[in-house]
Chains A and B, each alone.
Chain A
């Protein structure tokens, strides 16, 4: 139990050398701000990276027939797709579930053909920000033999809206499948398969072309919260209708995204470790100087009958207050920084002199605007760690005090 006097002396001692106290608290505050600022940017980047990675193509989870991902065989389909979608959508965490068909085809305008990929999508359920049809009303352009083609694909083969293209492929029976379609529009997509090869048509048209009524190759699922993905996948995998199907979460589908996210986390932790070392060095140095300066005073307190343990507690309280003071200032500055930038975002590109806002890479679309995010967990970790670090930093000064003999200390 810390007495009022012990706390009072510890608190007031910090005011004896106010400049030094403020300097150390300021150093800790800057470190804390650096940690919170960096982790907020990393979280913002990580969140954006996750959204980009799981966005239009990957989703939070996918359902396939076993081996489809490896073989891409036309006949490895999900059957009775409406019933499957109904079961999946009945899960409270699922916000969207959409069936897709993929089929390599030959396309032709005149006599010359070229490679393409038919992507059959549901015009309704794919028409959202994270879907394959991210522009409002885009889904209405599909259906009744109207298709959209990827911008790269269109440019390469000189496709323009209004043109009629012939699509020839192989249906699930191995028979030739072919039909004519009108290019309704050209679409830009970060998804390479769409941008460079895509002939995007309605799911109904694709099912008709490829002779796979009520069937699809893939169901892409989005949940309401990233944190709910795993439990949702576990629950869905227990549905009888999905018993013989493969259901995988995003991190199983794209392990490299997990690696990138882990790297982002570790970057923040490295900053945290540097902050702690700086905080520990500052606090240790201050407390050591402070105890050396006050050796005579400690001797006097010991001569009055004050126990070494009480003196140790006093020093520990001083260090803890110093650490908490710094961490409080740094946390406040960090929260203000995040509050000021979390809505408008920080434009990395502008900092680098560019006016680009987005880049696409590996089928993913990345924004160069980072929206910093701060989590209570980060604050708790930083406060606890700096408090612990401050207390560890006074072990040396405390060991010195415990060994002091009153008369020798009084002589100093």
Chain B
């Protein structure tokens, strides 16, 4: 499980606001391994979300190299990055970000449709929802569900196509501890069952408790990278 899925080397990211330049990342190095259940932590402004956006091909680094699944992300066109997001990455956002006019089932099916999956979309989406105990909510729209339910639908949408890497930006920020715990247990099960890699940006101690590895950022640099021993993580089989 030590294969590098993502390699981030000497990456910087600057944001310009008029004459002010904010250096969000300052020569950051990080390797993400297949099967990681990785929590990126750090104070606000430390660069967690920026790093996640760069790894997720949502944004482009100012300098440095990012390799994802062996592909040079910096050399990819906008279209290739969109293709990468579509086929190999799953996203879970803090604010759920479901399509409000679609039901839970339609939200999940939509990703399969974007991927051009022809047959069995309904069955796959429904099966994923049922795996996450959402079968009964399949025909509800987001505004008819609780925050925890919406976030589980967002996870279902992220994993329905079995992406190799799931990026979750503060996924528990809007959830109570009970829902957060349930969500994290569920994600751990998915990781164990399907061999997916999960990367979280978070402030939540609960996420850190479940993580198998914790990377701490400060001022756009990695200041600590701690891999827990097997069994240390909350909810582990041991």
Within the assembled complex, what's the spacing in Å between the Cα atoms of A406 and B86? 13
Measured between beta carbons, the chain B residues less than 8 angstroms from A9 are 99, 101-102
Q: Could you tell me if A305 and B110 are in contact, using CB atoms closer than 8 angstroms? A: no
Measured between beta carbons, the chain A residues less than 8 angstroms from B123 are none
Within the assembled complex, what's the spacing in Å between the Cα atoms of A305 and B109? 14
> Does B22 belong to the interface (CB within 8 Å)?
no
> With contacts A16-B100, A304-B91 known, is A5 near B109, CB below 8 A?
yes
- Shortest CB distance A401–B (Å): 14
Within the assembled complex, what's the spacing in Å between the Cα atoms of A297 and B114? 16
> Does B58 belong to the interface (CB within 8 Å)?
yes
> Does B219 belong to the interface (CB within 8 Å)?
no
Contacts of A293-312 to chain B: CB distance below 8 A: 296-297, 300-307, 310
> Does B97 belong to the interface (CB within 8 Å)?
yes
Within the assembled complex, what's the spacing in Å between the Cα atoms of A297 and B59? 17
> With contacts A5-B106, A306-B114, A410-B58 known, is A300 near B85, CB below 8 A?
no
Give the total of B residues in contact with A, Cβ under 8 Å.
Answer: 25
> With contacts A305-B82, A407-B58 known, is A5 near B113, CB below 8 A?
yes
Measured between beta carbons, the chain A residues less than 8 angstroms from B111 are 304-305
> Does B179 belong to the interface (CB within 8 Å)?
no
Give the total of A residues in contact with B, Cβ under 8 Å.
Answer: 24
Q: Could you tell me if B58 and A297 are in contact, using CB atoms closer than 8 angstroms? A: no
Contacts of B39-80 to chain A: CB distance below 8 A: 53, 56, 58-59, 79
Measured between beta carbons, the chain B residues less than 8 angstroms from A310 are 114
> Does B130 belong to the interface (CB within 8 Å)?
no
Within the assembled complex, what's the spacing in Å between the Cα atoms of A305 and B53? 14
> Does A405 belong to the interface (CB within 8 Å)?
yes
Residue-wise interface mask of B (105-145) relative to A, using a CB-CB cutoff of 8 A (1 in contact, 0 not) = 01001110111000000000000000000000000000000
> Does B4 belong to the interface (CB within 8 Å)?
no
Partner of A303, one of B83, B85, B101: B85
Measured between beta carbons, the chain B residues less than 8 angstroms from A405 are 59
Measured between beta carbons, the chain B residues less than 8 angstroms from A5 are 102, 106, 109-110, 113
Within the assembled complex, what's the spacing in Å between the Cα atoms of A8 and B102? 8
Within the assembled complex, what's the spacing in Å between the Cα atoms of A176 and B159? 110
Chain B contact residues, majority secondary structure: helix
- Shortest CB distance B24–A (Å): 12
Q: Could you tell me if A305 and B101 are in contact, using CB atoms closer than 8 angstroms? A: no
Measured between beta carbons, the chain B residues less than 8 angstroms from A12 are 101-102
Residue-wise interface mask of A (181-197) relative to B, using a CB-CB cutoff of 8 A (1 in contact, 0 not) = 00000000000000000
Q: Could you tell me if B114 and A16 are in contact, using CB atoms closer than 8 angstroms? A: no
- Shortest CB distance A195–B (Å): 71
> Does B87 belong to the interface (CB within 8 Å)?
yes
Within the assembled complex, what's the spacing in Å between the Cα atoms of A405 and B110? 21
Q: Could you tell me if A13 and B101 are in contact, using CB atoms closer than 8 angstroms? A: yes
Contacts of A8-43 to chain B: CB distance below 8 A: 8-9, 12-13, 15-16
Measured between beta carbons, the chain A residues less than 8 angstroms from B115 are 305
Within the assembled complex, what's the spacing in Å between the Cα atoms of A135 and B135? 82
> Does A110 belong to the interface (CB within 8 Å)?
no
- Shortest CB distance B116–A (Å): 10
Measured between beta carbons, the chain A residues less than 8 angstroms from B157 are 304
User: Could you pull out 15 A-B pairs where Cβ atoms are within 8 angstroms?
Assistant: A4-B113, A5-B106, A5-B113, A15-B101, A296-B97, A300-B93, A300-B97, A300-B99, A304-B91, A305-B83, A305-B85, A406-B59, A407-B59, A410-B58, A410-B93
Q: What 13 new A-B contacts, CB under 8 Å, besides A297-B100, A300-B99?
A: A9-B101, A297-B97, A300-B93, A303-B56, A303-B85, A305-B82, A305-B87, A305-B111, A306-B82, A306-B114, A307-B79, A405-B59, A406-B59
Q: Which residues of A contact B (CB under 8 A)?
A: 3-5, 8-9, 12-13, 15-16, 296-297, 300-307, 310, 405-407, 410
